[in-house]
Chains A and B, each alone.
Chain A
Amino acid sequence: MRQYLAANRFGLGLRPGDGPVGDVTRWFATQWDGFDPSPPALANLPGRSQLANAVLQLRDLQQESRAQRRNRDDGDMANDGAMRANAADAPAAPPRPAAIPEQRAARRVLRDIYAGAAQARVQTALDSDTPFMERWVHFWSNHFAVSVDKIACLPFAGDFEFRAIRPNVRGSFLNLLRAAVFHPAMLLFLDQAQSVGPDSPLLARYASRARQNGRQLGLNENLAREIMELHTLGVRSGYSQADVTAFARALTGHSVAGLARGPARRLSGGTAAGDHIFIDALHQPGEQRIMGRLYAQNGAAQADAILSDLASHPATARHIAHKLAVHFVADDPPPTLVQKLADAFGASGGDLTTLARTLTSAPEAWAATAPKFKTPWDWGISAMRALGIGQNSNMRLNIGLFDQLGQTIWRPGSPAGFADAAANWAGPAALADRVDAAERLCALVPAGVDPNARAAQILADAIDGATSSAIARADSAQQGMALTILSPIFLRR
């Protein structure tokens, strides 16, 4: 069972050519050292200014059509009487459709950027020789979740995982936290890009005009709350609403160059559009008090100091420890494992290497009594790897697969990320969907494959008599492989 668990609980499943995991300690160490933060599939994705321009294109078109609509409405009201009098001569209402196809095209650009990045994610997972590291990346990417149902996040979601998470998963938690919360995707997703200090220089200058335009400019505490509730301390861990508000004030100034709303959009200085920027003019001046501690720093240093304290808070250690144990080991993890992880987090100052080593070497992490039910992502990726689907496959199918299985890539729909428990994924229709998907995926299996041998390799030391005889009785190689990836063993990890 240990070999299967290593490859699936802590990896993405075995591929046809893969040898056995062997000594698990060495397996983890080799991966940790051999991890490539920027593998080939991620090399040629668009840069941030291109992503930003795609968002701006759509925003400008939307603004244009809003302005046209406003003008028309104003015109209609002003001419109301006249038009009624001269109905026959009145020109037909100016049609808006000019902007609609353009907007549709601009949305398509955003979706194409997203699809390219999502495909690169799948490709990287299929090709990876360091599958534990990929899982480690996916865990943190989901811990700091952004969701592409917010249209501005659509092009930035891939960049977030590839450039904020991937390069930082072997350092300290604080570094990773900073990289995640200040990435443009997060700043846009949780509305930080438009948050302005109530007493900031900019608001003082523009307040009257902003109110005139009917546009609200001011504090947005969305990111501050989620950092405390989801990313660090955890819900109900002792912070108050006043702490959230104070933290939100401290965070003001952090924005995205070129993508802030209103007048802040022009305050980008030399920073390229689409990059994280700290704009002093948006920052709330003065000191903030959070959970009893005073932060008197100026500018960006204030939020930095708060993040540093949050990252090393004991509640954060417990929160992260529990979440790791739930994700990797069990829906209801052994308290001793959670304690070990929390202790390791505290003692190492949130060192992610220590945390991973503690997790994978804890005997509790290898219990096979209540294995995890694979999420659609875990199952789909491990199934494609088992079938040897890689470079030459139809990639459209690959990302569509996750839509069909109910876990659209980077679309958890909430900053809490995708849920981890079996109850969230093991439903009747979900199960039937996997069977349909399995049959379709396995239609690509070449006839020369011997499913008995393949199943023995893929299911490794977890294979049992009922499964192997079901596979042996299958009526084709394709069906044998379908039963392998649908087996109760392979649905779990």
Chain B
Amino acid sequence: MQNLSTNRRQILRSAAILGLMGSVPRIAFAAGAASDKRFVFILQRGAADGLSLLAPVGDPDFARQRGALAEVAGGTLVGGSMFRLHGALTNVAALYDARQARFQHAVATRYRDRSHFDGQNLIEGGGARPYAHVDGWMNRLAAMLPAPEASALAITQAVPLILRGAAPVSSYAPTRLPQASDDLLARVGALYADDAMLHPLWEEAMQTRAMVGDLGGDMGRNGAQLGELAATLMAGADGARIVMLESGGWDTHSGQQGRLNAQLRGIDALIGALHSGLGDAWRDTLVIIATEFGRTVAVNGTGGTDHGTGALTMLLGGNLAGGGSVTGDWPGLGNGALYQGRDLMPTAALETLISDALSHHYDIDLQRLYSRLFPAD
């Protein structure tokens, strides 16, 4: 990063750094009685394009680098007008205004290649390389918490790696997802494009079929339902306190703008439903939304972007440190500033960002938390 020119590089207030510097020695055990903390982690599988979710409109190279994808109307200016939050994220914008949301750009795990599987394995396992752990960091978190706060749930059909491990975990999913996701449909369509028999059959099938996405489908209704479901499962004294949600469809290699609109409408509806469904419990809830890696800065030939590196992480909650701000080092979008000449240069570690937020949330010593959740193997 020494090749970054400082005039392109805006140093934003880093809650992570400030939090560390200002921390008085914390009591190194989880708070005991009457604690009612909740934590939700939402994994955007497929690499969500942070530069669309939170567009760096104040960066002088943004319009040039992003071409057509930079020309997006609407949205909310945040972070001193340097960034514009995507227009579909209205609930998230309202939380930001209430200082209950914070965004950090150019975040990456320790993973530097571009395979979804490996990247997701690492973001879930929490190690330094793929397949380093057979348990996940959320499970290790549950193991550190007192009984009521440790009750963990995955709203998926099978327990994903992130929640697997020694601590007991349950999983719940509405049975029989009716139809395949838009994303899979699109990929299957591409796979059949050159097949003389399958291609026409597929075209016909898609014409007669109402397109339903996972979160994005039905104008965000799917996302809202998932949010309501999560809030219901987290309600009351016996509710789950550590919840993992996942959403697919972020791998926008083509037609990115339309697909992201739907995806973001879905995830915004999810957040809205979760916020209202949790009611007073929102005050003690932390939500982190992250993805395995970012996408290329440049637009590809099919109106989309390819696998990249630096990504966006969103933190939300009723008692958030640094709410109402965009934090972290902005690396800039000049050609020389890009990672390997193509991706947003990572300037923050997701592992640190998560540990810091959880340390504040649960009042657990940061170093202790970090070394348990994200050991360097």
Contacts and interface: CB of A to CB of B under 8 A. Distances in A.
Interface string B183-201: 1110110111011011001
Contacts of B188: 435, 483, 486
Interface residues of A, number: 39
A425 to B, nearest CB: 11
B125 to A, nearest CB: 9
Contacts of A443: 156-158, 173, 177
A447 B202 contact: no
Contacts of A426: 197-198, 201
Interface in A272-287: none
Interface string B248-268: 111101000000000000000
Interface stretch (A18-26, A57-65, A233-241, A473-481): A473-481
A450 interface: yes
A270 interface: no
A435 B205 CA distance: 11
B45 interface: yes
Given A428-B205, A432-B205, A479 B248 contact: yes
Contact of A488 (B116, B178, B195, B248): B195
B201 A488 contact: no
A466 interface: yes
B158 A428 contact: no
Contacts of A429: 205, 208
Interface string A429-470: 101100110111001111110111000000000000011001
Which secondary structure dominates where chain A touches chain B? Answer: helix
Nearest to A480: B117
Contacts of B194: 466
B161 interface: yes
B305 to A, nearest CB: 13
A334 to B, nearest CB: 20
A482 interface: yes
Contacts of A472: 115
B187 A444 contact: no
Nearest to B251: A475
Given A466-B194, A488-B192, A428 B157 contact: no
A476 B46 contact: yes
B180 A428 contact: no
B207 to A, nearest CB: 8
Given A475-B248, A476-B116, A479-B248, A431 B201 contact: yes
A238 to B, nearest CB: 37
B202 A428 contact: yes
B72 to A, nearest CB: 23
B71 interface: no
B247 to A, nearest CB: 11
A483 B176 contact: no
Contacts of A432: 180, 205-206, 209
B183 A447 contact: no
Contacts of A438: 180, 184
Max chain A C-beta neighbours (<10 A), residue from B197, B208, B250: B197
A491 interface: yes
Given A450-B117, A466-B191, A479 B184 contact: yes
Given A439-B184, A447-B120, A431 B191 contact: no
A447 B160 contact: yes
B377 interface: no
Interface string B113-133: 001110011001000000100
Given A422-B197, A470-B191, A448 B134 contact: yes
Contacts of B204: 428
Which secondary structure dominates where chain B touches chain A? Answer: loop
B14 interface: no
Contacts of B158: 443-446
A431 B249 CA distance: 21
B151 to A, nearest CB: 22
Contacts of B124: 447
Given A446-B158, A486-B191, A491-B198, A479 B176 contact: no
Contacts of B208: 428-429
Max chain B C-beta neighbours (<10 A), residue from A427, A428, A450, A472: A428
Interface residues of B, number: 47
B45 A483 contact: no
A297 interface: no
A487 interface: yes
B190 A470 contact: yes
B319 interface: no
Contacts of A439: 177, 180-181, 184
A476 B121 contact: no
B316 interface: no
Interface string B164-176: 0000000001001
A426 B197 CA distance: 9
B271 interface: no
Given A443-B157, A475-B248, A436 B179 contact: yes
A424 to B, nearest CB: 13
A436 B179 CA distance: 5
A435 to B, nearest CB: 5
Nearest to B194: A466
Max chain B C-beta neighbours (<10 A), residue from A444, A477, A479, A487: A479
A438 B47 CA distance: 22
Given A431-B198, A486-B191, A440 B205 contact: no
Interface in B11-42: none
A445 to B, nearest CB: 8
A252 B200 CA distance: 52
A313 B194 CA distance: 46
Contacts of A445: 158
Given A467-B191, A476-B117, A488-B192, A444 B157 contact: yes
A475 B45 contact: yes
Interface string B31-61: 0000000000000011100000000000000
A452 B45 CA distance: 17
A465 B121 CA distance: 24
A475 B201 contact: no
Interface string B83-123: 00000000000000000000000000000000111001100
Nearest to B208: A428
A443 B191 CA distance: 20
8 contacts: A427-B201, A431-B205, A435-B188, A438-B180, A443-B177, A451-B117, A475-B45, A488-B198
Complex A-B, nearest 5 residue pairs according to Cβ-Cβ distance, in ascending order? A475-B46, A428-B205, A475-B251, A428-B204, A443-B157
Interface of A: 373, 422, 426-429, 431-432, 435-436, 438-440, 443-448, 450-452, 466-467, 470, 472-477, 479-480, 482-483, 486-488, 491
